[in-house]
């Protein structure tokens, strides 16, 4: 069952800023919300703000537990994370990567060197963007 939301945006907050989810991901997240079950017998799934509720009422699932659940269905989260970081390091300068991810600049530089990312191309792309028109 996939709820449809024509003209409606579904967002998820990972950190401080919400991100709008594209279709079909938005529909899958709505399905998950409708069918999620907490592991605990205390409380109800519809009473939690968490997409992945944990064992304790009102708490989210731990990163370790979520990682184990992903591995159980054939997803390797460590490998996926590395691939995502590698792709991101190709696109943005090390200084921005370090700030975005909260990692040390040396680590960001190593990631960028490993991915052969060219931050000069990023800077050139930014300089070509047209400023937004005033309202």
Q: What own/partner pairs with CB < 8 Å and gap ≥ 24 does 90-94 have?
A: 90/115, 90/116, 90/117, 91/117, 91/122, 92/117, 92/119, 92/122, 93/119, 93/122, 93/123, 94/119
Average pLDDT value for the chain = 77
Indicate whether 1 pLDDT > 50.
no
Over the stretch 113-124, which tens digit does the pLDDT of each residue have? Answer: 888 766 566 666
Q: Report the share of the chain in percent with pLDDT over 90.
A: 2
pTM above 0.75, yes or no: no
Q: What is the pLDDT of residue 3?
A: 45
């Amino acid at each position: 069952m996939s709820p449809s939301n024509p003209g409606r945006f579904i967002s998820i907050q990972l950190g401080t800023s919400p991100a709008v989810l594209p279709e079909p991901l938005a529909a899958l997240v709505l399905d998950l919300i409708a069918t999620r079950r907490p592991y605990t017998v205390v409380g109800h799934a519809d009473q939690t703000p968490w997409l992945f509720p944990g064992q304790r009422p009102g708490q989210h699932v731990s990163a370790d537990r979520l990682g184990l659940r992903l591995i159980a269905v054939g997803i390797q989260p460590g490998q996926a994370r590395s691939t995502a970081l590698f792709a991101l390091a190709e696109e943005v300068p090390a200084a921005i990567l370090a700030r975005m991810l909260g990692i040390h600049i040396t680590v960001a530089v190593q990631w960028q060197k490993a991915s052969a990312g060219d931050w000069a191309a990023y800077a050139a792309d930014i300089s070509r963007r047209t400023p937004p028109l005033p309202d």
